[in-house]
Amino acid sequence: MTQPRPSFDLSGKVAVVTGGNRGIGRAIALGLAHAGAAVAILARNATRNAQVEAELERIGQPTHADILDVTDRATLAPAIANVERALGPIDILVNNAGNTDISGGVLQQSEEGWDNAIATHLTATLLLSKAAAASMQQRGRGKIINLASMYSIFGAGALPSYAAAKGAIVQLTKSMAIELAPHGIQVNAIAPGWIATEMTQVARDDPDWSEFNAMLMARTPAGRWGEPEECAGAAVFLASASADFVTGVTLPVDGGYSIF
């Protein structure tokens, strides 16, 4: 008899989402909770954290929120330990926290901006994954989901630090996937396309960016901006038992932008 296929049910799982208090991170946090997971959000703004924590509580799952600046290396492993004390062993880590440094190009790139981008996107992903994977390894299972970008693939003349960090995320994802697969841990990435968030609002609404916006829409077969919630489904899939044989993958959620 054919065995039932795994489902997307995350009941009994504990998930952590960095930068989970707005935009794509918030959508993923809510999506994981709707799928049954207890969710912890780690982000810098206490007010936003409380707002999303209240949304998670209304879904009916256990929740936890801590203030965390992912560039503060010394606080990363303790933050993972705090979540485990509050909710239990971590099954799912979503490395979502990010920012942009629109320097205008390498000739204008500051060392401070470069260091911050690498620390925020790349170093934090490594160190948080290291802490979570040590716990996951003890139980022989776990899911790590990293947030990549279209700029992991394409050049970004005005954002060299961001593009370099996001490009490295793809390679780090593959490297961790190889190492951790024997321990039952799958490591994958999501590469959002042009998603309607606060971070991209200027490109959507500012008349000075109208030509750029038109170019993006012409390049996107779906012909529109994506919604943050459209990244949540990819995260739930990668976090679920349905993706137990999927690892080292970078999954575009981009309306077809990367096809061209």
Task: Tell me the HSE value of 30 on the side-chain side, using a 13 A CA sphere.
Answer: 17
> Which residue among 162, 194, 225, 257 is the active-site one?
162
DSSP-H helix ranges across the chain: 23-34, 46-59, 76-87, 111-117, 124-139, 160-180, 201-205, 210-219, 229-239
What distance in Å separates the CA atoms of residue 89 and residue 156, rounded to the nearest whole number? Answer: 38
Give the torsion sign (CA, 64, 69, 75, 76): positive
Tokens of 169: 């995320």
Q: CA 253 to CA 193: how far, in whole Å?
A: 6
| Burial (CB count within 10 angstroms: exposed 0-12, middle 13-18, buried 19+), residue 196 | middle
Question: Among this protein's residues, is 162 annotated catalytic?
Answer: yes
Largest CA distance in the chain: 64
Is the distance from CB of 191 to CB of 250 less than 8 angstroms? yes
Residue type, 255: G
Q: Could you tell me how far CA 42 lies from the centroid of its own chain?
A: 12
* CA 120/CA 96 separation, integer angstroms: 10
Point out the residues that are catalytic: 162
